[in-house]
Amino acid sequence: MRAKGFSLIELLVVMAIIAILAVIAVPMYNKYRANAMYSVLEDNLKRAVAWAEAVAVDYDKFPTGTCDASTVGGTGSLSCSIGDENSVNVVNSASGVKDLVIDYPITINFTRDSSTPTCGTVSALCDSDKCSGLTSNDGTSGPELCMITCENPTRLREDTNLHGVVNGGCP
């Protein structure tokens, strides 16, 4: 008559199966998290480009400055508005249609083109330690996506570990 319970061999087989599944599942999970963060970064960049183009139309100048949500802890969003000389200012909450809302932990930089004041570059950055496995192509920093507004066609440029350096990367 056999004793109740599992033998050592049975336990080792189950542990081996679990280990094999973990070896397959963990990298896939990390890739899904990086893809999700990339989507958030791309969404924030496109929203910022649309906002910057609207500001350029209304004020005849492309905005300059930074909307930085990377220093704020937790989750949620941060609002930025347009200030003097079209500089970007952080505001506590969205107070109007002209405010840009970005998600944590993303930083959006606006750089005006010196030759065409209504054009510029918008870049979205994220610290590598806050971006769920998303890094630059060489892994030394966080990912960067950018768009130059007066390029025709406007192309997404990037430096990420998901797609590499695309369209020459960000200037």
For the segment 64-72, the average pLDDT, to the nearest whole number, is 81
64 assigned to some structural domain: yes
Q: What is the DSSP letter of 128?
A: G
Q: Which residues lie below 8 Å from residue 53, measured CB to CB, with a gap of 6+?
A: 149
Distance from C-alpha of 48 to C-alpha of 50, rounded to nearest angstrom: 5
pLDDT at 86: 72
For the segment 12-37, the average pLDDT, to the nearest whole number, is 92
Instruction: Measure the CA angle with vertex 65, ends 68 and 58; round to 5°.
Output: 115
Which tens digit of pLDDT belongs to each residue from 89-131? 776 554 555 678 888 788 899 999 989 999 999 999 988 888 8
Residues of the domain holding 93: 9-166
Percent of the chain with pLDDT over 70: 91
CB 66 within 8 A of CB 109: yes
pLDDT at 99: 78
How many domains are there within the chain?
A: 1
Overall residue count recorded for the chain in this entry: 171
2 assigned to some structural domain: no
What the block records as the tokens of 80 is 């930025």
Could you tell me the pLDDT band of residue 23, with boundaries at 50, 70 and 90? very high
User: Is the pLDDT assigned to residue 20 strictly greater than 80?
Assistant: yes
3 assigned to some structural domain: no
The strands making up 77-82's β-sheet, listed across from edge to edge, are 88-91, 77-82, 100-103
Residues forming a β-bridge with 88: 82
171 assigned to some structural domain: no
Q: Which amino acid is at 160?
A: T
User: Is the pLDDT assigned to residue 74 strictly greater than 80?
Assistant: no
CB 164 within 8 A of CB 144: no
Task: Give burial (CB, 10 Å; 0-12/13-18/19+) of 152.
Answer: exposed
Instruction: Write down the mean pLDDT value for the chain.
Output: 85
